[in-house]
Amino acid sequence: MAGDSNLLDTWGNANTMNMNPIVYQNILESRYYKTLLEKETYHEMVNEIFNEVSHVNPFVTGTTASTAFCCLYKLWNMRLTVKQLENMIERRDSPYIRALGFLYLRYVCAPEQLWDWLGYYLEDDQQVNLSNSPKPNMKSIGAFCRMLLTEQKYLSTMLPRIPVLIARDIEKKLQDYDRENKK
């Protein structure tokens, strides 16, 4: 999952985290994001997510960046290690910490490594709320990972493009997985 050392192999735009320009710009302009600049450690950010994130929609209202996506971008600026990401996606005390770990991977992980990171979690039934509306939009972590592997759009924004050959390979792996697990 990583090259030499404990650094995650990443690809794409080192500044924007491959985010949609509207999401990126609104994160930078967010008052909440500016408060996150005081957080200096991974543990401070994990605690922040645990205490403040209640959904993983990119926006709260209109194009105002959500708490989740402000935290996601702050994590990117900290350049998480493989160990830190593994810790996030393995945690059982918060589906939001896990979901942000998976989103982090979907935005910046080398596309050919996505299956290795997300495929293992397809049966995970812990629930996460995608919506910031009064009516929750609950999805299992497994369905969330499947969505990140197969969709080009995440709620109201575009995800980084997965090259066609890699997308086909992921689709074949999903078909094989479904056949083996009789979905």
Could you tell me which residues are beta bridge partners of residue 139?
128
pTM above 0.85, yes or no: yes
Give the rounded distance of the alpha carbon of 119 from its chain centre. 14
> Looking at the DSSP assignment, which residues form a beta bridge with residue 154?
157
Give the up-direction half-sphere exposure of residue 36: CA atoms within 13 A in the CB hemisphere. Answer: 28
Contact 58, 157 (CB under 8 A): yes
CB contact at 8 A, 66 and 103: no
pLDDT in tens, 116-149: 999 999 999 999 999 888 888 999 999 999 999 9
Per domain, the residue ranges of the chain are 21-180
Residue 175 phi/psi, 5° resolution? -60, -45
Residues 50-109 pLDDT 10s: 999 999 999 987 788 999 999 999 999 999 999 999 999 999 999 999 999 999 999 999
Per DSSP bridges, beta strands 157-158 and 138-140 are unpaired
* Cα–Cα distance, 1 to 82 (Å, whole number): 8
Q: The tokens 């299992």 sit on which residue?
A: 140
